[in-house]
Amino acid sequence: MRLTLPLLLALAACSAQTDRNVTAPDNAVAPGNDPAALPDEPRAVPTAAATPSGPAMPANEAPMAQDGAQGAAKVVQKYYALLEAGKYSQAYRLWEPGAAGMTPDAFAASFGRYAEYHAKVGTPGRVDSGAGQRYVTVPVEVFGTLRPDTRPFNMRGSIVLHRTAEIDGATPEQRSWRIRSADITPRSGEAAPTPQPGEDNRSTARYRCMDGSRLVARFDPERDRVTVVRGGKALATLQGERVASGIRYTARGYELRGKGSDMTFTAPGLPPIACTVIR
């Protein structure tokens, strides 16, 4: 049968309309999406992305990690790196105010005896919590050589760090880890580093107490003792004792115990009084 041109055009239009109305079956594969070429697992999502200000931050370096024990250990690592580089004033600022027990100048002078000064920082302990405060102890080993004969030394001990918890009113500075105390002693069988001739590591701290009195504490780190003065009169010379954190000096019924800028002073037969360092 011969078809006329108008009829052929009509049939072609009908066929095109039918193709547009056909729905692909559910198991149809779109071009380029061959199941054999698809991965078995979804692509991994990056845990962190680089920012314009610097490289990507690893997952274990999130800001909250700085509040934990590893954050405290990093402060200790920074502290000894500064000491090794001779940047004593910067290292001093990593202590809590008054906790170093000496002035910045005396602190810097105390390292004059070392020809080389290095440290290994160990794994920190768990974070101790209480009353909105946080404490952590970090073990260290300090070694190097002494002046003037380059005699080697090796000491071990620990650093106690403190910060305030995330409580209302706490400043970023208060929430940062700072060194509260250090207990570093020579290894068994080794002598302690001795000061250079003429070196003076003594320092003075002044306190205002709750009873209205004022005390002056003259620390002598080389002899591990402190002389307490009130009203211009020396009350007693106290000997240092080892404690888990902070400082403690005792003698004949007297006691001076403190952490950071706060301390308590006890005289024979009297109750302890709280005192705060005068800035």
Statement: the pTM of the whole predicted model exceeds 0.85 = no
Is 251 part of any domain? yes
Runs of H (alpha helix) within the chain: 5-20, 69-84, 88-92, 104-109
- 3-class DSSP state of 76: helix
Name the β-bridge partners of 153: 144
- Average per-residue pLDDT in the chain? 75
Say which CATH number the domain at 80 has: 3.10.450.50
The reply to whether 159 and 223 lie within a common domain is: no
The reply to whether 172 and 71 lie within a common domain is: yes
Q: How many helices (H) and strands (E) does the chain have?
A: 4, 13
The reply to whether 127 and 212 lie within a common domain is: no
The reply to whether 171 and 84 lie within a common domain is: yes
The reply to whether 161 and 218 lie within a common domain is: no
Name the residue range of residue 251's domain: 203-277
User: Quick one: CA dihedral 39, 45, 47, 48, positive or negative?
Assistant: positive
Residue 15 main-chain phi, psi, to 5 deg: -65, -40
- Cβ neighbours of 138 (radius 10 Å): 25
Give how many domains the chain has, as a whole number.
2
Is 239 part of any domain? yes
CA distances from 203 to 7, 168, 255 (A): 112, 35, 19
Is 27 part of any domain? no
Is 31 part of any domain? no
Q: Mean per-residue pLDDT for 100-106?
A: 83
The reply to whether 133 and 243 lie within a common domain is: no
The reply to whether 245 and 169 lie within a common domain is: no
The reply to whether 128 and 238 lie within a common domain is: no
- 273 close to 207: Cβ distance less than 8 angstroms: no
Is 162 part of any domain? yes
How does DSSP classify residue 231? Answer: T
The reply to whether 230 and 153 lie within a common domain is: no
- 91 close to 111: Cβ distance less than 8 angstroms: no
Instruction: Report the candidate in 68, 37, 62 with the shortest Cα–Cα distance to residue 48.
Output: 62
Burial group, residue 191, by CB count within 10 angstroms (0-12, 13-18, 19+): exposed
- 68 close to 177: Cβ distance less than 8 angstroms: no
- 276 close to 208: Cβ distance less than 8 angstroms: yes
The reply to whether 69 and 180 lie within a common domain is: yes
Tell me the per-residue pLDDT of 201-243, one tens digit each, with 9 for 90 and over.
457 788 888 888 888 888 887 778 899 988 878 899 999 888 7
Q: Mean per-residue pLDDT for 75-100?
A: 93
Q: Mean per-residue pLDDT for 100-105?
A: 83
For tokens 């700072």, the residue is 178
> Per mean pLDDT, which range of 70-79, 188-197, 235-244, 259-268 is the poorest?
188-197
Is 54 part of any domain? no
The reply to whether 165 and 210 lie within a common domain is: no
What is the rounded CA–CA span in Å between residue 88 and residue 84?
A: 9
7: left (phi over 0), alpha (psi -120 to 50) or beta: alpha
The reply to whether 227 and 113 lie within a common domain is: no
Averaging pLDDT over each range in 17-21, 206-210, 217-221, 257-261, which range is the top one? 206-210
Instruction: Report the candidate in 202, 213, 205, 225 with the shortest Cα–Cα distance to residue 277.
Output: 205
Amino acid at 203: S
Confidence of residue 89 (pLDDT cuts 50, 70, 90): very high
Say which CATH number the domain at 230 has: 2.40.128
Final residue belonging to a domain, choices 122, 155, 186: 186
Is 17 part of any domain? no
